[in-house]
Structure 1
Amino acid sequence: MGKKQKQVLLLFILWSVFCCVMSEQIHYTMPEESEKDYFVGNLAKGLGLEVRDLTKRKLGISSGNQHFTLNEQNGNLYVKNRIDREEICGKSSTCVLKLEVVAHNPLNIFHINIFIQDVNDNAPHFWKETIDLKVSESNLPGARFTFGTAEDADIGINSLQGYNLSSTAYFQLDVQETKDGDKYAELILQKQLDREKEHTHYMVITAVDGGVPRKTGTLNIRVNVTDINDNAPVFSQAIYKVSLKENAPIGMSVLQVKASDSDEGSNAEITYTFSDIAEKGEQKFTLDPKDGKITLLENIDFENRKKYVMIIQASDGGGLVAHCKVEIEVLDENDNAPDVILTSISNPIPEDLEPGAVIALIKVHDRDSGENGEVSCHLQEFVPFQIVSSSDDYFKLLTDGSLDRERVPEYNITIIAMDKGTPPLSTHKTISIMISDINDNPPAFEKPSFTAYILENNPAGVSVFHVKASDPDLDRNAQITYSFLSTSIEDLPLSSYISINSETGTIYSQRSFDYEQLREFQIEVKVQDGGSPPLSSSATVTVCILDRNDNSPQILYPSQTPEGSSVFEMVPRSAESGYLVTKVVAVDADSGHNSWLSFHLLQATEPSLFTIGSHTGEIQTARTLLERDAVKQKLVVMVKDNGQPPLSATVTVNLVFAESFQEALPEINSQPNDSESPLDIQFYLVLALALVSFLFLVTVILTIMMKLRRSRNPTFLQCFIPDPHSKTGAIFPPNYEDGTLPYSYQICLSSESRRNEFAFLQPSQAPSKPDPLLVTDEFLTWALHVSLISHSHICEIS
């Protein structure tokens, strides 16, 4: 068995023993008036606990105890202060002191009952040391006289057991016992008194208890013999009983006793006096000697004394007396609010504490009795706690729901203890409970995704974006760090593009970005707290590269020679105004406004002869050609973008007005100052070769088209220039969407060849030997390409 399993088994055994002990009452017995540090008993042994476990269990006596002390090392219980049974329990036959012992690990309470044994520490005593009895000589033997009872605070055998009378020939002592067990005595006249012989008699009555050794109290009685008074006063009742509420006002008339006497004169004048009353009773009540009215002198408290008993004597003027007993019962009123004592508390408590866990032990006590002393507890406000009765006057404060420190970090719990009196009294006790944090909240971004923008050509190290996450936990559980989940961008390490500050969440660029190469990329940002185990979350950041105007327009058509000029374009002499001469085609690698192009005519041989579309780049004739206008025209066109600052490019367009190619050749070949150049012979040879090649290609193309028309009658050949009534679209150069081709290069291709993006502008190889009956799109494209190259060569040579 492993160490951990042994510990679990040991805890289970201890808990079983603890539960058994908890369900039993521990009893100890000790005599009152024991000296300080008197050994009462060993609680560890009584509770079935090992001495070595006492330190771990943290035994302690609950608050409110003033009589005992507990040695927490060995579990011995000792007397702390003097214990007077009579002061604590009065005349009760059983005197028990209840002691609550609290164990903190785990939290529980043990109830200890300590029975206090009575010792004979109180002697019987009379209310007065000496009393005077007036006895008429006319009293016959058998007449009874009371002198009051002796009191003994002890109980049982140590209490009053009897009375003894000193030797006398005239009186005998008769001891009787009431229903309550109290003993009282009366003097019985044995023979008639003769005042003339002896007018005063002295006796001693001794009250004896049953203790060892016995204790006694004495009463001296002096009997004064009076003249004949043959009618003694008579009370209307032998016993008067009355109930008095403890909140009765001072000066209230409690009771009136009434005695009558049949005699006349002074022998009929009755005087009322207390014959026997306890000292506390004499302080609380007064007796009117004339009318026998008993009045309240001080406030009475049910919790201090529940009953007052007194003997009232009625004496006439002749010395005859009568006695009656008055019992005043004090009724309890709900005048004591419950006392709430916090015995033990666990504070702070973790927010993941399970419902039903004990967090505090509370003792509630009410000094009243009956329903006035029955107390119930509840919580004032709605909180995730509940209070339940444990045993006797104890209540447990339990968790009653889930706790969330981020929502409520502290609870001020008000416990209301209310009795069942009318009206009920209550006591409010507020307990502050702190909730400690656990790592139960992952850090969270403000949004699941973010978009960051950065201009291209940015310097390395510039801040790109700042992500921010928050964690509602505390301390280390709320310490967050930022990192990347992504590892690469376009097969390059992420660290070569961007970096992130792990503490602030600021993202920095590590390089300069080019919009034309990379327009956007995404990264996953992770945030993690410092809890154990750590919690994390992620968000997506899309970084968009913003375009700068860093690319000049690129002119695709007309193509330029290394010297910056374009080939010659042929314009019919009969061209009307608005004739489309050619179109300048250009693109810009930038985007948005930076790629919006405008076309401007910077220079022209005859400015009034041509116009250019500022958005289309189309060059058109503004009027017809006049005789005075030059046949050869030179135009300089500028293409400008819309960036800030704008970038531009220029191209020179050469035009020749002629009705046919043969007519245009002399103009094209005419060079002003180098006609006699030694290169003329070479030029003519090249020109002749080009013309032969061109004618050959035209012949081949026409032959092929005729064969196809005879064999399959195809209808798929259509021109690049779109027919407004045809569904066939035109094909344009790559990266060009809204322009048209120059007029001189309107070419017809099959519909299938439109998928080739202006292939004749790119180098191409001749296809393999075609089928004489089936000419492919590639073959036609190649043929046209060769034709255009030949035409271009002719223009360049010229």
Structure 2
Amino acid sequence: MAIWVKLPGYSGLVLLLLFLGPLLNAQAGKIRYSVPEETDEGFFVGNIAKDLGLQPQELVERGVRIVSRGRTQLFALNTGSGSLVTAGRIDREELCAQSLQCLVSFNILVEDKMKLSPVEVEIIDINDNTPQFQLEEVEFKMNELTAPGTRIPLPFGQDLDVGINSLQSYQLSSNPHFSLDVQQGADGSQPPEMVLQSPLDREEEAVHHLLLTASDGGSPVLSGTLRIRVQVVDANDNPPAFTQAQYHVSVPENVPPGTRLLTVKATDPDEGANGEVTYSFHNTDQRVAQIFQLDSYTGEISNKEPLDFEEYKVYPMEIQAQDGAALMSRSKVLIKVLDVNDNAPDVTITSVTTAVPENFPPGTIIALISVHDQDSGDNGHTTCSIPGNLPFKLERLDDSYYRLVTEGTLDRELTSRYDITVTATDQGTPTLSTEMSISLQVTDINDNPPAFSQDSYSTYIAENNPRGASIFSVTAHDTDSDENAQVTYSLAEDTLQGTPLSSYVSINADTGVLYALRSFDYEQFQDLQLRVTAHDSGDPPLSSNASLSIFLLDQNDNAPKILYPTLPTDGSTGVELAPRSAEPGYLVTKVVAVDRDSGQNAWLSYRLLKASEPGLFVVGLHTGEVRTARALLDRDALKQSLVVAVQDHGQPPLSATVTLTVAVADSIPDVLADLGSLEPSADPDASDLTLYLVVAVAVVSCVFLAFVIVLLALRLRRWHTSRLLQASGGGLEGLPASHFVGVDGVQAFLQTYSHEVSLTADSGKSHLIFPQPNYADTLISQESCEKKDFLSAPQSSLEDRKEIFSQVNFL
């Protein structure tokens, strides 16, 4: 007789859930799929790219990946099609045992947004398991006095499948004494029972053989069998009786193996073998039977293996007591496992960034951290922390996830690397914790310009330096790294006296060493003002400036230059006049010289190097004035030749010489007379004097006398009568004035002295030069000579003098 046990409407409910699954998923905010078990690797589960609102190619670009915890990866992403596929064969029974609904949960991480999307995949059961019994054969002993209607519980059949594929019905082989009855239990179970239909007669049949078949509802139908052997024994009218219908005990999960957990007790009032009770497990899960041990004689239950709260929270079992006459009774035992804090938190870095630029703003996500504790209650409540002296903080996303973000601005120049220790701690007693370190490298950006050690530099170099010589070196340091700290140097564009500075100085772009491109001349300029710029190689580049002053030191590289007397350009020679009546100390002339150098290199001293009449003249050491050293005698020659040397105080000293010719005579006629008697000089300049010069000197002497008379008259009029000074007018035309001489910005005025006559002679012409009669050192500019009359004299005297000049020119 076959009895089918079915769940009304169950298959329809499953189909309804399958069709309404996507709708329920959308409402729940999760992505849900379903897939049959035992499918091949790569089986299509769902279009995850579409459900995430992405294109297939974005899965790789945005770092989309599966994040799961605590189990083997069952699914994978097909980045080409954007679909979710199976990563291998899935055994539903291994994952969910006999749970009615088998859901695999995991998260999809979009890494660039650090966004988690929960996904649930329901594993649909297929009929891949055959109903089975734990035993191949079971034996019962029944007293022949057993009354009809007696029920004998039979072992359960087990089918690992669920739903319609699970065990649906039992069928007992035909027997006139026994029938099969399946009833719904209070706990929802459907235990099979064999019912005695008619009294047994051991003498007629001592053993009955039956076959119990368990069948599922799959297609095709799968079934398993159990052989039943019923042995009829003599009468035993008292079955064993347990002291409790149900036993309960609570034990901590850390009890050592071999601990006695509890003892069950059953009594039988019969005597002899009919009262001897033995204990055994009945209808107990195979795993439970492996963990616990039951003493068949004492009823003591102990553990053979360590208990694990995380695996089983309650261990249910059924104990059967049987006397020697095969009468039985059963009692349930529930062993409840108490959790202890034996699992430290598990910290997993789901996503981490190993390097960030130093300019990242606060709030930048560094890592996504998953924390899980397998314990329960306070033992499973975890907190996550990092050291407080770091510019980071942890933000809690939910009970299991944290994210590590920057709390302040990072500065590579202060700290280039952070080792962040993440500590997860539970709330158990004692507390357990787990540490994990995250290494973060702070990469450099170009946020520091090169810096000079000084804002301005100065150096001194001597002029006439060699070309290409190194004259100075500047150094700028950049606190950045790599190319951001590679410094190059350049000079700012500028000009010096209209010439680019780049033609004077260059700088090595890599070392900062400055080189002179030419030899500097102190007399041209005394200093160079430069601006040095240091650039780094960052993007964009940064720079800073420093000023550099180069001061030239003068060297004695210029010899003195004689301004007066000037060397003739037309071949003539100047002659100075010294009257024979001159007293000692009489100022004959003055040598004027300048030196383009500076300091002691330009301090000049004068000395008489050579004289035709030694001891007759002296030269002022610092003034250059040529004066008579003694009174002139008649025996002194008319023509005196002096060589005056001008020397500076440089090292080594430089000098220049000038030759002076002094004519000695009391009056102009004496000069003319004496000149006629002079022998031609060996000097090539003196050999040019001719008869025309003598005549010219005589004529000029007359003019000079007239000039002296006019000058005395003007002096008297100026001193005694202001009216005569106002009436005087007119100028001497054609008379040479003192000349202004300039050498490189140095202005010097020639001094003229009273009673001086300069006589020059060449091959064709003769000239007399009459300087201003004044014993003092008087400086008169050329401009004043042009605007004012050099001397005031009557018009008639001027006209007479013009005639004299015309006669001299005629000669």
Same fold (TM over 0.5): yes
Distance 1:51 1:233, change over 3 A: closer
Indicate whether 1:278 and 2:285 are aligned.
yes
Distance 1:251 1:585, change over 3 A: farther
Q: Which residue identity does 1:301 align to in structure 2?
A: D
Q: Which residue of 1 aligns with 2:528?
A: 521
Q: Is the 8 A contact 2:31 2:120 kept in 1?
A: yes
Q: Which residue of 2 aligns with 1:547?
A: 554
Distance 1:116 1:341, change over 3 A: same
Q: Which residue identity does 2:519 align to in structure 1?
A: S
* Aligned counterparts of 2:456 and 2:150: Cα–Cα separation in 1: 114
Worse-superposed segment, 372-381 or 453-462? 372-381
Q: Which residue of 2 aligns with 1:291?
A: 298
Which of 298, 315, 320 matches 1:313? Answer: 320
* Aligned counterparts of 1:591 and 1:654: Cα–Cα separation in 2: 31
Which of 304, 307, 310 matches 1:300? Answer: 307
Q: What is the correspondence of 1:423-438 to structure 2 with a 5 Å cutoff?
A: 423-433=431-441, 435=443
Q: Which residue identity does 2:185 align to in structure 1?
A: E
The secondary structure found in structure 2 opposite 1:323 is strand
1:256 Cα deviation after fit: 2.8
Worse-superposed segment, 79-88 or 265-274? 265-274
Q: Which residue identity does 1:40 align to in structure 2?
A: V
Indicate whether 1:98 and 2:118 are aligned.
no
Q: Which residue of 1 aligns with 2:493?
A: 486
* Aligned counterparts of 1:369 and 1:662: Cα–Cα separation in 2: 140
Q: Which residue of 2 aligns with 1:765?
A: 785
The secondary structure found in structure 2 opposite 1:82 is coil
Q: Which residue identity does 1:235 align to in structure 2?
A: T
Distance 1:21 1:508, change over 3 A: farther
Identity level (%):
39
Distance 1:396 1:231, change over 3 A: closer
Indicate whether 1:235 and 2:255 are aligned.
no
Q: Is the 8 A contact 2:211 2:225 kept in 1?
A: no
Distance 1:735 1:177, change over 3 A: same
Q: Which residue of 1 aligns with 2:735?
A: none
Which of 16, 31, 40 matches 1:26? Answer: 31
Q: Is the 8 A contact 1:101 1:109 kept in 2?
A: yes
Q: Which residue of 2 aligns with 1:323?
A: 330
Which of 223, 228, 252 matches 2:259? Answer: 252
Q: Which residue identity does 1:759 align to in structure 2?
A: L
Q: Which residue of 2 aligns with 1:44?
A: 49
* Aligned counterparts of 1:340 and 1:294: Cα–Cα separation in 2: 38
Q: How many residues align?
A: 709
Distance 1:415 1:23, change over 3 A: farther
Q: Which residue of 2 aligns with 1:750?
A: none
* Aligned counterparts of 1:699 and 1:611: Cα–Cα separation in 2: 34
Q: Is the 8 A contact 1:312 1:324 kept in 2?
A: yes
1:414-467: per-residue Cα shift (whole Å, max 9, x none)? 5445555552332415355563x5555555555443335443223444444444
Distance 1:570 1:648, change over 3 A: farther
Q: What is the correspondence of 1:61-72 to structure 2 with a 5 Å cutoff?
A: 61-62=66-67, 66-72=73-79
Length-normalised TM-score, structure 1:
0.68
The secondary structure found in structure 2 opposite 1:759 is coil
* Aligned counterparts of 1:681 and 1:328: Cα–Cα separation in 2: 160
Q: What is the correspondence of 1:132-281 to structure 2 with a 5 Å cutoff?
A: 132-135=139-142, 146=153, 148-160=155-167, 167=175, 169=177, 173=181, 175-179=183-187, 181-184=188-191, 200=207, 202-207=209-214, 209=216, 211=218, 213=221, 215-218=223-226, 220-223=228-231, 225-226=233-234, 228=236, 230=238, 232-236=240-244, 238-245=246-253, 247-261=254-268, 270-281=277-288
1:89 Cα deviation after fit: 1.6
The secondary structure found in structure 2 opposite 1:177 is coil
* Aligned counterparts of 2:273 and 2:408: Cα–Cα separation in 1: 84
Indicate whether 1:130 and 2:131 are aligned.
no
Q: Is the 8 A contact 2:642 2:660 kept in 1?
A: yes
Q: Is the 8 A contact 2:421 2:437 kept in 1?
A: yes
Q: Is the 8 A contact 2:554 2:598 kept in 1?
A: yes
* Aligned counterparts of 1:132 and 1:653: Cα–Cα separation in 2: 161
Distance 1:705 1:211, change over 3 A: farther
Distance 1:380 1:32, change over 3 A: farther
1:547 Cα deviation after fit: 1.4
Distance 1:408 1:381, change over 3 A: same
Q: Which 5+ residue runs of structure 2 have no aligned equivalent?
A: 1-24, 681-689, 726-741, 755-776, 793-811
Distance 1:635 1:234, change over 3 A: same
Q: Which residue of 2 aligns with 1:17?
A: none
Q: Which residue identity does 1:89 align to in structure 2?
A: C
Distance 1:37 1:603, change over 3 A: closer
Q: Is the 8 A contact 2:182 2:190 kept in 1?
A: no
1:518 Cα deviation after fit: 0.8
Distance 1:418 1:188, change over 3 A: same
The secondary structure found in structure 2 opposite 1:300 is coil
Distance 1:570 1:485, change over 3 A: farther
Q: Which 5+ residue runs of structure 1 have no aligned equivalent?
A: 1-19, 656-660, 712-732, 746-756, 770-777, 781-798
The secondary structure found in structure 2 opposite 1:46 is helix
